[in-house]
Chains A and B, each alone.
Chain A
Amino acid sequence: MRPTCHPLKPLLTLLCGSLFVCAAQAELRPMADNELAEITGQALITLDGLTYGGFEYTRVNLGAEIDLLTNIDELRLGNYSRNQPNTASTQPADIRIDNFALGRVDNANSSNATVVPFQVRDPYLEFAFKVNGQGIREVAGIRLGFGRARGDLSGDIHSLTGNMQGLVTGSASTAREYYMQQNNLNGFTCTFNFDCLALSLAGNAEIYSEIQLVKNGTGDTTVNGQPINRATYIGVPNGSSFNTDNALLSGLLPSIAKNNGDCTASGLPACFPLLNYKSIFVGDRTQSDLSIGGAQGIFFSLQNQNVPWQDLASTNNQFVATQSGAFANFAKSGEGANTIYPFIVSLYEALNGAARVPTCIGDLSKGC
């Protein structure tokens, strides 16, 4: 390193010296030569550069394993006036979550209370740059992401912009029960209702559907070709349907359980308020090893235009398209049988709401 000036060196020396005074209360022992020889420089931070689609990126990676339980009263990103055709609600911010929490507490209101932390691996901070029409290089976006993440994420989600891909899975009989309850049907009258009969025929077959952020009332994920922002609902997108692996039903179910633009599928609600999802599990609940069960590609970003961010969960060089404003990416990773969804909820949870897991010890389950 070439020489430079250190104007505050006396002050720093004083401070550093003072810190060592404190440490001196514990005994210091010299290291032997062989111990010293084993020490090498630790690459805690690396920087990566890449270019794509006219953008330049610089990513600062921090090598770390982090376990935490945190409660946050309010998270609000992109809080500005917005009224575009693809703005799906009157919410004031692109991302607005109250009582946000990472991690959970088991047996929360007892002396056996146990913290189950949220796990994060290798967080990073990334900048996107672009040369504008006048030839000036500008900051186009910034994102905070995680190499892998696993655990319970809770909150009162008032609005969300970005990708939130989950899987709803359950039994057709569950759907039938709910349908009968909502439509005041019984076992006999059910047979005269086409949707109810179809669900009856499906029996206990497992049905599932990918769900995304959607516009309430229609299930639209885009308006005029532009992705929606400030979503307050999640559900089966317009034109998509519940599916099944059951051979007898696989042909029938998409036709009867399709959202045709009215946020229903087989007469069941297909769009659900985000506020109903008070807790979701990020990553694979069944794989405690973060290397396997941790969800990849999760990030929060802010950008002034449609910035494609590298998808770190992708094995084939994909980029995640984002739009101007704040953006949260809880997208699925992998394909087919190896797909890991950021969260999986049972059909019951989707229909009735996913209760919040406790995130505080004691009486309060949130807001501590």
Chain B
Amino acid sequence: MMILVDPNNGIPVYRQLMDQIKFFVSSGVLKPGDPLPSTRSLSSQLGVNPMTISKAYSFLEREQVLERRPGRPLVVKNVDPKELETRKMEQLNESLKHPVRVVKQLNIDIKQAAQAFEDLLKPSGEPHDRN
């Protein structure tokens, strides 16, 4: 699992871990039933305090992203498609907060901003309108 943390960042390390794991689950890199690395191994792999890893894992359990069963490693919890959609939209909304603030501070017209966003979403290299 390609987790990276930046301790110098203003975001607490346990939050960085949670965000990345949630993203892996939503994007399908981690699938229901997939095991997570043990607290110890992730702690030594990342060079962070094991308590930080446990904190992230237990919050993710509480948020129903991960599931702990006795005597087994922590795994990704099964999620129904509707809930998965909700989570994806939450993640998108969260990451749009910053661009939204930029749009407001630069005083850009909403329609123009939306158009810019749409243009960026078009697959690159795809020919635009032929005419």
Q: Are A and B bound to each other?
A: no
Chain A positions within 8 Å of B, measured between CB atoms, are none
